[in-house]
Structure 1
Amino acid sequence: METFERIEDIEIRLLLEALYHRYHYDFRNYAMSSIRRRLRQAREQLGFATISALQESALHDPDMLPKLLRYLTVQVSEMFRDPGYFRAIREKVVPHLRTYPSLKIWIAGCSSGEELYSFVILFREEGLEERTIFYATDINPEALAQAEAGVYGLDRIRLFTENHRHAGGKTSLSDHYRSGYDRCVFDRSLRRNVVFSDHSLVTDQVFGEMQFVSCRNVMIYFDRILQDRAIGLFSEALPRNGFLGLGAKETLRFSSHADAFREFAREEKIYRRTGA
């Protein structure tokens, strides 16, 4: 069993190298335990006997790439996930953001768009939407397409609505979508100030100055080196007093960029950029 796992780890590292050199997707510094679990699932469900066979297909069949990305990228989210986070933004961060004549918000690792729409609805309720540009980025083109479509299963709306209420929502969530045929389509107007873009925290650089960066439940899949790179990007993107929001299990504690931030809302993992 030990020999099998050792060989499998070699296969995984070779596959990750192949993806990087063939398609410029870099998963080499993702947490190995997570990558191993996801690739085992991909191998089984896509019908390959070994990781090496999966690698051969990925190298020679470009149509295999989007299928593989579904397993390698995180696609689990919900609207107003961790409602306390959004309530803290509404009650503690928004009063500061009101002082800016224009705003840029970066949702890094936006997946299929649930967090993006949560931000846009919150900003609409607080009267900030018109002065805000939202940047929704992800490395997975299929996830970006789904985010831009804004279509979700009707069976998920009850949870979304409950989260919205606990987050201090000032409207009914149903004001922002129409439903039919077991799905909900969010209002096209929610996307009028949104820029959807392919962006990798692993290989790409900062593309503008932001007043708020929200990157939640993405870095838990990175190793320490890659986490540090991502925090460095956010530090570079934020001006003094800009805000950074992380996931409940994420921290700046071990980052070489930790001194560039101070805790703003400790329990909700919201930080503020210092002048350091």
Structure 2
Amino acid sequence: MIANEEYRQFLESVRFVYGYDFTEYAEASVIRRISAFMDSNKIASLQDLGKMILKDETEFEHFIQEITVNVTEMYRDPLFYKSLRKNVVSRLATYPFIKVWIAGCSTGEEVYSMAILFREEGLLERTVIYATDINQDALQKARDGISSISNMKTYTENYLKAGGKNSFSDYYKAKYNSVMWDKSLRQNIVFSVHNLAMDRSFNEFQLILCRNVLIYFNQSLQNKVINLFYESLCPFGFIGLGNKESLLFSEKQKYFEEVDRKEKIFMRTK
């Protein structure tokens, strides 16, 4: 059992040494993942864990890889992408140059999903997709553009439900037990480390996707991140959230209107 005071001191030490701030993440979720990490690595106490990761950056990177959540798949929640095609893409097409931010991109499945969607809609050549995550190991996997072949049946089904226009197999090459996404999809993608809890806005975007990330933050950090997205969106830009996430308690709620209530797509109105 991890005591509250010990837990807070541990997080403050991590923030001081490495600049990673988990103090406003949902406490029960973080404690559960820290405990699982300690159990799997046979670490007896939080004090012992602190000694290990605060003195060894390699061990800290291993810790970050384990406790950050990397659940993702191609066209996860397919109807969300179908709604993007129907309600958002035609408006994005009016811009001469399109900037998209996928925040919390994990191992990149959502990024490649968007690249394929934009290619099919004739927009990829004038689009830059900025894909960011706190987990450097996940980002490297995203850059590599490799997925397990065992997922392709599910991914293909999702792609078709999302309104895909071609054969999904056109976008990857199978090799042994893996698939490699078409290199041309990566030409307009910029992968970079970004910490939503600590870092600021770095550009102005027409579309921001941050799906199934806010659920791991407490209310205060959720509000802070929504403010960051508001500052990062151009007027009449769009934001897409996960199906369990909302702008309801954000102080910026009044500056957004619902584009699709069920699929959690919103437009900044001013």
- Cα distance, 1:10 vs structure 2: 2.7
- Cα distance, 1:8 vs structure 2: 3.0
Distance 2:165 2:260 in 1: 22
Distance 1:196 1:262 in 2: 29
TM-score by length of 2: 0.98
Unmatched 5+ stretches in structure 1: none
SS at match of 1:242: strand
Counterpart position of 1:219: 214
Query: Would the aligned equivalents of 1:77 and 1:114 in 2 still touch at CA under 8 Å?
Result: yes
Structure 1 counterpart of 2:229, from 202, 225, 234: 234
Counterpart position of 1:83: 78
Which of structure 1's runs of 4+ aligned residues deviate more than 4 A? Answer: none
Structure 1 counterpart of 2:7, from 12, 22, 40: 12
Distance 1:11 1:179 in 2: 48
SS at match of 1:44: helix
Distance 1:161 1:199 in 2: 30
SS at match of 1:30: coil
Structure 1 counterpart of 2:203, from 201, 208, 215: 208
Distance 1:122 1:91 in 2: 12
Q: What does 1:56-95 align with in structure 2 at a 5 Å threshold? A: 56-95=51-90
- Cα distance, 1:177 vs structure 2: 0.7
Q: What does 1:107-126 align with in structure 2 at a 5 Å threshold? A: 107-126=102-121
TM-score by length of 1: 0.96
The sequence identity of aligned pairs, in percent, is 46
- Cα distance, 1:70 vs structure 2: 1.7
Structure 1 counterpart of 2:264, from 266, 269, 273: 269
Query: Would the aligned equivalents of 1:8 and 1:51 in 2 still touch at CA under 8 Å?
Result: no
**How many residues of Structure 1 are paired with residues of Structure 2 in the alignment?**
270
Q: What is the root-mean-square deviation in Å for CA atoms of aligned residues?
A: 0.9
Distance 2:151 2:6 in 1: 37
Unmatched 5+ stretches in structure 2: none
Distance 1:122 1:72 in 2: 31
User: 1:60 corresponds to which letter in structure 2?
Assistant: K
| 1:72-121 Cα distance to aligned partner (Å, 9 max, x none) | 21101000000000000011111111111110000001010010000000
Counterpart position of 1:190: 185
- Cα distance, 1:71 vs structure 2: 2.4
Distance 1:114 1:128 in 2: 19
SS at match of 2:153: helix
User: 2:48 corresponds to which letter in structure 1?
Assistant: A
